[in-house]
């Protein structure tokens, strides 16, 4: 089912470089379980919105429309693709929790391939707007 409230279809995927090391990535992601034991065993991520940050954990994708506290997050999978995972907001993060989460995420950011994120940006924002933004910035 295509959800009209998402910027991409939930079944969209983007290839990561063949050098992407999923094992190292997932180990870093699982370090978040130590910070957030309520998410142990689930894929976990955090999202900053305005001046708040929120903890999200994987939920079953039953094909229904997203609830207000749900979203899809593109995350690496073992097949070296970014794929959407349906997630539900668990709670807000404190500043300290956000900083620790961000520190963990920054350790994996070097692994995330710029090419895949460029593909995502192109699909969501569009080539024309990206080209305009790039030309304005020069």
Distance CA 11, CA 53 (A): 26
pLDDT tens per residue, range 20-57: 888 988 988 888 888 999 998 999 999 999 999 999 99
Confidence band, pLDDT 50/70/90 cuts, at residue 93: very high
Q: Residue written as tokens 């940050």?
A: 53
For residue 2 the two structure tokens come to 């295509």
Answer for the pair 70, 3: CB distance below 8 angstroms, yes or no: no
CA dist., res. 3 & res. 37, Å (int): 30
Please report the pLDDT score of residue 110 as a whole number: 64
| pLDDT-based confidence at residue 79 (cuts at 50, 70, 90) | very high
What pLDDT sits at residue 5? Answer: 76
Whether the pLDDT of residue 113 is over 70: the answer is no
Question: What pLDDT, on a 0 to 100 scale, did the predictor assign at position 1?
Answer: 43
With contact defined as beta carbons under 8 Å apart, do 54 and 46 qualify? yes
């Amino acid at each position: 089912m295509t959800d009209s409230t998402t910027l991409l279809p939930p079944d969209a995927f983007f290839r990561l470089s063949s050098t992407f090391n999923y094992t190292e990535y997932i180990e870093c992601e699982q370090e978040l379980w130590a910070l957030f034991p309520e998410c142990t065993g689930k894929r976990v991520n955090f999202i900053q919105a305005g001046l708040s940050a929120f903890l999200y954990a994987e939920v079953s994708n039953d094909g229904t429309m997203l609830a207000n506290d749900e979203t899809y997050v593109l995350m690496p999978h073992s097949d070296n693709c970014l794929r959407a995972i349906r997630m539900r907001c668990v709670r807000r993060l404190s500043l300290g929790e956000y900083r620790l989460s961000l520190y963990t995420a920054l350790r994996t950011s070097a692994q995330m391939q710029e090419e895949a994120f460029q593909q995502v940006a192109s699909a969501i924002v569009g080539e024309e707007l990206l080209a305009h933004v790039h030309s304005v910035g020069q």
